[in-house]
Structure 1
Amino acid sequence: MRLTGLIAVLLLIAGCSRATVEEPEPSPTGPSAPTTSSAPTSAATTTPSSSKPSAPPAAGAPIADVITWIEAGRPADPTGYHKATRDGETTDLIDDIAFTVPAGPRRVTTCMTDAESTDSALACVVDLVNPPPQPQDIYGQWKGGWIDYGGNTLRVGSAHGDPGRFLHGAGAELPDGSSLSFGDYRCRADRVGLFCVNYAHRSAVLFSPEGIGTFGCLQPVPPPADAAKLFSCAS
């Protein structure tokens, strides 16, 4: 009887030794990832918009300001300025440009290019309020408002026995606030006058009935005998 009880105790001890203890299973979601707070950034960065100049450049303005003013004008289509009209007859100028700008009551500025000219790619006849007087020893028809602008030179006043390049008349009107680009030049019409820049020489001119203004490298130099004034970029 005692033997039977002893066997039962031994069997109970052996069964307990083979028992395993289950450990708690890890959470299926795993450890929580640290949360990253998206703090609001500083005020949104704004790109400053380049504002258009509100007024024409004054006398002595830097050439960069003059160019900015001219380029702020509404671009005109150059194809509409390849013709000139005189007495109702229209002539195709082929590659040359002709345009007219109103310059106050009953005053106009007429401009035209000449591809065959060796000293002036652009000429304008300005109805000046006070045109320069005719120099001594100059014969022929003096035109004090005839301006030759070659980019690196500006010549005011000259004698002409014939209309020259304006033989075929005048070109179409360039409206106020519009700009016209041709060759190395770009011009903008304004109530103050006509502003033209020559990019090749970084010079500019204001054609106005009140007078002719220069910008950039153009500086006054002694004029030749057949001109009233001369400006040059030569140092």
Structure 2
Amino acid sequence: MRIAVLIAASVLVGGCSQGVGRDVEDTESSLSVPTRTTATTPDTTTPTTTAPAKPPQAGADIADVNRFVEEGVPAEAAAFHTATREGTATQLGNDVAFTTPSGKSQCMTDSRNAGGALACLVDLTIPPLQPPDIYGQWKGGWVDFAGPSIEIGSAHGDPGRFSSGKGPQLPYGHSLAFGDYRCRSDETGLYCVNYANQSAARFSDAGIVTFGCLQKVTPPPGIGEKYSC
């Protein structure tokens, strides 16, 4: 009887010790150190932006002029195929007509008589002097921009293409593409590029400033000033 009691007590002690050991292992597992993670550094890099082109000054590279003109807000060419005079609108077909907001430059193409070349009437503060032996009405602010040349001041027996009147306003900051040309209206003047010849000019009352291949040459009879490539 005494032996049986001792055996039962030994079994009870062994069972308790195993339970205690298992509880300790479970507790140690639950207190294990969590896996270390790598902190992510937020991206604070500032995106690269390109500053808008400034209005080109005399002597600027033709690439800078092109960039400035092309950064203008594109205008819809279909809105500039009409010229208006004294309330009467004339459809110009494939030609375009436009006016700067200041009213100091009004321009128009002429596909029928000038192969689509651009001409502008510019309110020049100091227009070229009238050459001798001029027949017809002298217009010192008539500027023909054919692409490979610009002629400033010429005689005309009638208003020519401008007899149809003026085209709509081309707002400042907007550009108009037509044929080989693109023009941008700006407060400093009207900038026009001829891509076929990589030539350009700024039209304003202060004068005509040329870019690219255009260089001043001796004008032919009847022309005030001429620049040629």
> TM-score, normalized by length of structure 2?
0.78
The secondary structure found in structure 2 opposite 1:137 is coil
Q: 1:151-182 CA deviation, whole Å, 9 max, x = no partner? A: 11101110001011111111001111111111
Matches of 2:48 and 2:118, distance apart in 1 = 37
* Distance 1:139-1:168 versus aligned 2 partners, 3 A rule: same
Cα deviation for residue 228 of structure 1 reads 0.7
Aligned to 1:201: 197
Q: 1:128-169 CA deviation, whole Å, 9 max, x = no partner? A: 111111001112100000000011110111000101111111
One-letter code aligned to 1:197: V
One-letter code aligned to 2:67: T
Aligned 8 A contact 2:104 2:204 in 1: no
Aligned to 1:66: 65
* Distance 1:86-1:220 versus aligned 2 partners, 3 A rule: same
* Distance 1:64-1:137 versus aligned 2 partners, 3 A rule: same
Aligned to 2:96: 97
The secondary structure found in structure 1 opposite 2:113 is coil
Aligned 8 A contact 2:143 2:151 in 1: yes
Q: 1:86-125 CA deviation, whole Å, 9 max, x = no partner? A: 111101101000001133xxx5211000112346600000
Matches of 1:222 and 1:44, distance apart in 2 = 60
CA RMSD after TM alignment? 2.1
Aligned to 1:172: 168
Matches of 1:60 and 1:210, distance apart in 2 = 16
Aligned to 2:84: 85
Matches of 2:116 and 2:78, distance apart in 1 = 22
> TM-score, normalized by length of structure 1?
0.77
One-letter code aligned to 1:84: A
- The count of aligned residue pairs is 194
One-letter code aligned to 1:162: D
Structure 1 residue 147 corresponds to structure 2 residue 146:
no
The secondary structure found in structure 1 opposite 2:63 is helix
Matches of 2:115 and 2:56, distance apart in 1 = 27
Matches of 1:148 and 1:83, distance apart in 2 = 20
Cα deviation for residue 39 of structure 1 reads 9.6
Where does structure 2 lack aligned partners over 5 or more consecutive residues?
Answer: 1-36
Aligned to 1:121: 117
Aligned to 1:29: none
Where does structure 1 lack aligned partners over 5 or more consecutive residues?
Answer: 1-36
Matches of 1:217 and 1:119, distance apart in 2 = 21
One-letter code aligned to 1:82: H
Matches of 1:128 and 1:181, distance apart in 2 = 24
Aligned 8 A contact 1:120 1:149 in 2: no
Mapping of residues 1-235 of structure 1, within 5 Å: 48-53=48-53, 55-103=54-102, 107-118=103-114, 121-233=117-229
